[in-house]
Amino acid sequence: MHSIKSNRNLKLTLIAMTILFLGCNSPKEDLWEILEPLTLDPNIEAQIDEILPKLTLEQKVGQVIQGDTGSLTPEDVKKYRLGSVLSGGNSAPGPLPYAETKAWLEMADQYYNASIDEEGVEIAIPIIWGIDAVHGHANLKGSIIFPHNIGLGAMNNPDLIEEIARITAHELTISGHDWTFAPTLAVPKDLRWGRTYEGFSENPDIIRSYGDRIVIGLQGKFGTENFMGNGKVISSAKHFLADGATEGGVDQGDALISEEELARVHAAGYYSSIPAGVQTVMASFSSWQGRKLHGDKELLTDVLKVKMGFNGFVVGDWNGHGQVPGCINTDCPQSLNAGLDMYMAPDSWKGLYESTLQHVKDGNITIERLDDAVRRILRVKLLTGIFQKGIPSSRVNAGNENLLGLPNHRVIARQAVRESMVLLKNNNQILPIDPTKTVLVVGDGAASISKASGGWTLSWQGTGHTNDKFPNGESILQGIEQVVNNSGGKVIFSEDGDTSIEADVVIAVYGEDPYAEFQGDRENLDFVPNGFDTNKLTTYKNKGIPVVSVFLSGRPMWANPEINNSDSFIAAWLPGSEGGGVSDILFQTDPSYDFLGRLSFNWPQSAVVIKNNNDPLFKIGYGLSYDSIDYIDPLSENSGLENNEIASTGLYFTKGEVVPPWVIWLISGELEKQIASFPSSVGGLIISKTDHVTQEDALRINWTKSDGDYFRISSVKPNDLTRQSNGAMKLAFNAKSFTNSDAILQIGQCDDSDNCNKTLEIKVSGDWKEYIISLSSFEDLGVDMSKIISSILIKAQAGVDIGLSNVRLE
Ligand code: BGC
Ligand code: BGC
């Protein structure tokens, strides 16, 4: 299946070459599988030979740079002759955070037309336009949102994965996109990583068995008519290499693993996707043994291009080159010299263009290396037919919204949802549920397609999109209603779980809220209930009503209390917009349905991550069927966490409670007090509970006497918020003023120098409103974001009386 060169002579020659090139740093034996490069098409190479001499130096430099549509205009593309544009997770056109077909397509035309304008050049090269369609074309309103990769790994069905990729490509061609930054071939090894859900499995075999099939689904079969034919897009295997192996699961971190493990485990998906003709590979933000991939010639050139025979082009990740030692976002010859062929320079493209041009003139980048990068880019553009396809709106499928969310495509997504769910517990064989019964549905995930879809959905983080933004989808609740109403049963929905309601069975849908990239990194695997109070499940159980939990999450988590309080517990991952797939299986609406999903990751025994843990609660491969008679005894409810380690989730105060490890302090002059009950006071500062959305879900803080008293939410240990600050996260809260006059608040964050005098002024007036301050503005005040002790501090003058709720990072 894979065209792996077994020819011993070639292998030996390559080893000899490598040793010559690398001297004594080089690996002694070949740990890597040597792949035979795909045969180059002589016609295409001849065309490149013809084009290259016609390009000016400026044009060549432009080709190796990609900017983001949020930071460049079509005129810029024409002037600088850039090779590509991307639309990052938050760069959709128009005023909304997401866009519709028409807006995308208009934008596609504008950039494309700018790129082919021949004014001032002998030959103009069309751009290619990239986007993250990582679980369906989830940036487009009306598209089908497929389960995230973690669920598709549990499904373990290569035929279906190819179908999913085929449909994703089809939907991309409707909005005029040429290129998706998928598949992610990461092998996540630490579940604390915020991108765990973008990986299929911790088992490289599953990833290898998917790598080629996804590429074929997206691009068509290499070497056949079908390759890049109608409804096809360019694929990008990412993130090369070992993005899933970083220490502590830190996003963009460092993989301290052996070369053997790199080659054997983390390269698995590339061994199948490269022979399948994947046209681009994205370099990883991360490092291997302290070496940033974006500057690593041994891995980008000697391994990827030589040993693995990759002859497409290597694209960078979002300013990833700027992290190479000695580089900044606007200046980095190191990356191109290491083998990167196209920089992803979203907002830094202009400065980077200028410095790169100068480096070529000065000889810091050889013309041979630049020509090789441009040759590779032209090769992809010629092979994929971009030169002939014409303007995006004129292409097959373009603009035809009727082709979005086609019924026969939704059926595939629904099947994927069914096959991805893993049944962890089914005591007394509660499942399948009899649809003629009275079913109480609770939990904040039931009616929310957004929560069921996770990050990279309509926006980068994917949070808070209402169901009307998914015109071709249905929620899990809607799916349940369909089945039960048609069978003569009854559905009662109570999102926050009214425990006085009587029913025959409870279906509770809850779990992690959406996140993407480093914003999903966690200190530990403790599931901290957010939108739904899972303690309520105990009440139903005690009343003798069986509880079925549908757990939505981007990774296995320590959820023993929830598992104990459920008769059945299903890991549903992030199923996306086909909620009906969940009800199909809960009620077994067809006799052929059963739970086919099997864990593609080990499920943890405790919330503390133990390295190389071989004693998971549920082992990889585990998953029950309806008729399994396994009985899960009550599990330990000791999470293994010390108090001060408990989830730093970015939630500080929510639903009337301060979230551990955070605690509330009041300070008045020399007096300081940690607050455990309400009302309390210190000096003239009085704190009590008040109502915001529900009863007593907020704090009331009243400065009755002295000026400068303060309120703070602090933790014992300092917290590192550097990445949150770099990632443009914000401190958000809701507040109101209880008096008629404006409340002037000094808001701060304190680092462990305990200098809390650096504050920003905010005016709170009238009824409840949301207030937002970007973390970087505290950094600008000189606060050390790597050692935050107080996540919020509020000072005010006597007379100020405010309500405060939902203190969080956003
Ligand atoms: C991510 C990539 C993504 C790129 C473009 C980066 O931050 O790491 O996976 O393709 O942004 O949105
Ligand atoms: C972009 C994403 C990108 C991320 C990188 C966001 O602003 O929208 O596409 O992956 O930044 O950190």
- Contact (CB, 8 A) for 378 and 386: no
Q: What confidence score (pLDDT) does residue 694 get?
A: 76
**pLDDT average, residue stretch 34-60:** 98
**pLDDT average, residue stretch 579-589:** 98
CA gap 737, 796 in Å, rounded: 12
Residue nearest to atom 11 of ligand 1 (CA): 318
The radius of gyration computed from the CA coordinates of the chain, to the nearest angstrom, equals: 28
Q: How confident is the model at residue 649 (pLDDT cuts 50, 70, 90)?
A: low
| 237 CA → ligand 2 middle, Å | 18
**pLDDT average, residue stretch 654-683:** 85
Which helix (H) or strand (E) covers residue 239, if one does? Answer: strand 234-240
Task: Cite the DSSP H helix spans in 156-298.
Answer: 158-174, 204-219, 259-261, 268-273, 297
Is the per-residue pLDDT at 15 higher than 60? no
Q: Comparing 122-126, 244-248, 648-652, which segment has the lowest mean pLDDT?
A: 648-652
CA gap 511, 443 in Å, rounded: 9
CA gap 173, 398 in Å, rounded: 6
Atom index in ligand 2 nearest the CA of residue 132 equals 9
Sheet holding 547-552, edge to edge: 422-426, 568-573, 547-552, 505-511, 438-442, 490-494
- Contact (CB, 8 A) for 253 and 286: yes
The ligand minimizing its distance to the Cα of 89 is 2
Give the three-class secondary structure for 802: strand
Q: What confidence score (pLDDT) does residue 395 get?
A: 97
Cis peptide before 679 (omega within 30 of 0): yes
Q: What confidence score (pLDDT) does residue 189 get?
A: 96
Q: What confidence score (pLDDT) does residue 22 get?
A: 45
Is the per-residue pLDDT at 513 higher than 70? yes
User: Could you read off the pLDDT of 130-169 as tens digits, one per residue?
Assistant: 999 999 999 999 999 999 999 999 999 999 999 999 999 9
Residue nearest to atom 5 of ligand 2 (CA): 318
Is the per-residue pLDDT at 28 higher than 80? no
- Contact (CB, 8 A) for 278 and 238: no
| 319 CA → ligand 2 middle, Å | 10
Q: What confidence score (pLDDT) does residue 148 get?
A: 98
**pLDDT average, residue stretch 632-660:** 77
Q: How many helices (H) and strands (E) does the chain have?
A: 22, 31
Which helix (H) or strand (E) covers residue 442, if one does? Answer: strand 438-442
CA gap 311, 279 in Å, rounded: 8
Among all residues, which ones are annotated catalytic? 317, 517
Q: What are phi and psi of 759, to 5 degrees?
A: -130, 165
- Contact (CB, 8 A) for 25 and 316: no
Residue 417: name the closest of 459, 474, 360, 368 by CA. 474
* Ligand 2 probe mutation, 66, 195, 318, most atoms within 8 A of CB: 318
Q: What confidence score (pLDDT) does residue 2 get?
A: 40
The ligand minimizing its distance to the Cα of 294 is 1
User: Could you read off the pLDDT of 722-736 as tens digits, one per residue?
Assistant: 777 777 788 999 999
Q: What confidence score (pLDDT) does residue 12 get?
A: 41
CA gap 749, 497 in Å, rounded: 36
| 89 CA → ligand 2 middle, Å | 5
Task: Cite the DSSP H helix spans in 746-785.
Answer: 775-780
**pLDDT average, residue stretch 623-629:** 96
Which two structure tokens, joined as six digits, stand for 1?
């299946």
Which amino acid appears at position 316 of this protein?
Answer: G
**pLDDT average, residue stretch 672-689:** 88
- Contact (CB, 8 A) for 196 and 151: no
Q: How confident is the model at residue 27 (pLDDT cuts 50, 70, 90)?
A: very low
Residue nearest to atom 8 of ligand 2 (CA): 89
Q: Comparing 127-136, 599-608, 768-777, which segment has the lowest mean pLDDT?
A: 768-777
| 88 CA → ligand 1 middle, Å | 7
Is the per-residue pLDDT at 539 higher than 90? yes
Phi-psi sector, 481: left (phi>0), alpha (psi -120 to 50), beta: alpha
The ligand minimizing its distance to the Cα of 316 is 1
| 518 CA → ligand 2 middle, Å | 10
Where are the strands (E) in 584-724, listed by range? 651-654, 657-658, 663-668, 671-675, 680-682, 685-690, 698-703, 710-719
* Ligand 1 probe mutation, 86, 132, 193, 723, most atoms within 8 A of CB: 132
| 559 CA → ligand 1 middle, Å | 30
- Contact (CB, 8 A) for 478 and 580: yes
Higher-pLDDT residue of 642, 699: 699
> Per DSSP, what are the bridge partners of residue 497?
none
Q: What confidence score (pLDDT) does residue 611 get?
A: 72
- Contact (CB, 8 A) for 454 and 448: no
Show the CA angle centred on residue 633, arms to residues 632 and 634, nearest 5°. Answer: 120
The ligand minimizing its distance to the Cα of 130 is 1
> Per DSSP, what are the bridge partners of residue 731?
773, 809
Higher-pLDDT residue of 576, 20: 576
Atom index in ligand 2 nearest the CA of residue 319 equals 5
Residue 710: name the closest of 794, 788, 790 by CA. 794
* Average of per-residue pLDDT values in the chain: 92
CA gap 364, 358 in Å, rounded: 9
- Contact (CB, 8 A) for 71 and 347: yes
CA gap 299, 289 in Å, rounded: 12
Residues whose CB is less than 8 angstroms from the CB of residue 13 and which lie 6 or more positions away in sequence, other chains included = none
Give the three-class secondary structure for 783: coil
Q: How confident is the model at residue 674 (pLDDT cuts 50, 70, 90)?
A: confident
Length of the chain: 810
Which two structure tokens, joined as six digits, stand for 526?
């403790």
What are the DSSP calls for 537-581, one per residue? HHHHHHTT--EEEEEE-SS--B-HHHHHT-SEEEEEE---SBTHH
Q: What confidence score (pLDDT) does residue 20 get?
A: 44
Site of tokens 């400026």: 58
CA gap 472, 489 in Å, rounded: 26
- Contact (CB, 8 A) for 558 and 571: no
- Quote the DSSP letter at residue 32: S
Give the three-class secondary structure for 241: coil
Which two structure tokens, joined as six digits, stand for 493?
């929905």
Residue 282: name the closest of 309, 243, 251 by CA. 243
Q: How confident is the model at residue 16 (pLDDT cuts 50, 70, 90)?
A: very low
Q: How confident is the model at residue 595 (pLDDT cuts 50, 70, 90)?
A: very high
| 181 CA → ligand 2 middle, Å | 12
The ligand minimizing its distance to the Cα of 237 is 1
Is the per-residue pLDDT at 17 higher than 70? no
Q: What confidence score (pLDDT) does residue 67 get?
A: 98
Atom index in ligand 2 nearest the CA of residue 86 equals 9
The binding-site residues of ligand 2, defined as CB within 6 angstroms of any ligand atom, are 88-91, 318, 460, 517, 727
The burial class, CB within 10 Å (0-12 / 13-18 / 19+), for 9 is exposed
Is the per-residue pLDDT at 677 higher than 90? no
What percent of the chain shows pLDDT beyond 90?
A: 80
User: Could you read off the pLDDT of 345-395 as tens digits, one per residue?
Assistant: 999 999 999 999 999 999 999 999 999 999 999 999 999 999 999 999 999
Which two structure tokens, joined as six digits, stand for 146?
């497929």
- Contact (CB, 8 A) for 560 and 641: no
Is the per-residue pLDDT at 86 higher than 50? yes
Burial 155-165 (b: 16+ CB within 10 A, else e): bbbbebbbbbb
User: Could you read off the pLDDT of 232-291 as tens digits, one per residue?
Assistant: 999 999 999 999 999 999 999 999 999 999 999 999 999 999 999 999 999 999 999 999
In angstroms, what CA-CA distances link 209 with 157, 204, 304?
9, 9, 19
* Ligand 2 probe mutation, 460, 515, 517, 518, most atoms within 8 A of CB: 460
User: Could you read off the pLDDT of 462-474 as tens digits, one per residue?
Assistant: 998 999 999 999 9
Which two structure tokens, joined as six digits, stand for 368?
């041979």
CA gap 222, 277 in Å, rounded: 6
**pLDDT average, residue stretch 339-343:** 98
Question: How many other C-beta atoms can be found within 10 angstroms of the C-beta atom of residue 397?
Answer: 17
Question: Between helices 158-174 and 407-420, what is the axis angle to 10°?
Answer: 140
> Per DSSP, what are the bridge partners of residue 234?
179
Virtual CA dihedral for 668, 673, 679, 683, nearest 10 degrees? -20
Which helix (H) or strand (E) covers residue 115, if one does? Answer: helix 101-116
Residue nearest to atom 10 of ligand 1 (CA): 181
User: Could you read off the pLDDT of 288-325 as tens digits, one per residue?
Assistant: 999 999 999 999 999 999 999 999 999 999 999 999 99
Q: Comparing 82-91, 303-312, 665-674, which segment has the lowest mean pLDDT?
A: 665-674
Q: How confident is the model at residue 717 (pLDDT cuts 50, 70, 90)?
A: confident
Residues whose CB is less than 8 angstroms from the CB of residue 676 and which lie 6 or more positions away in sequence, other chains included = none
Q: What are phi and psi of 491, to 5 degrees?
A: -110, 130
- Contact (CB, 8 A) for 184 and 211: no
Which two structure tokens, joined as six digits, stand for 651?
């939630």
Which two structure tokens, joined as six digits, stand for 343?
């920089």
Task: Cite the DSSP H helix spans in 404-504.
Answer: 407-420, 449-453, 476-486
The binding-site residues of ligand 1, defined as CB within 6 angstroms of any ligand atom, are 86, 88-89, 132, 181, 238, 285, 317-318, 517
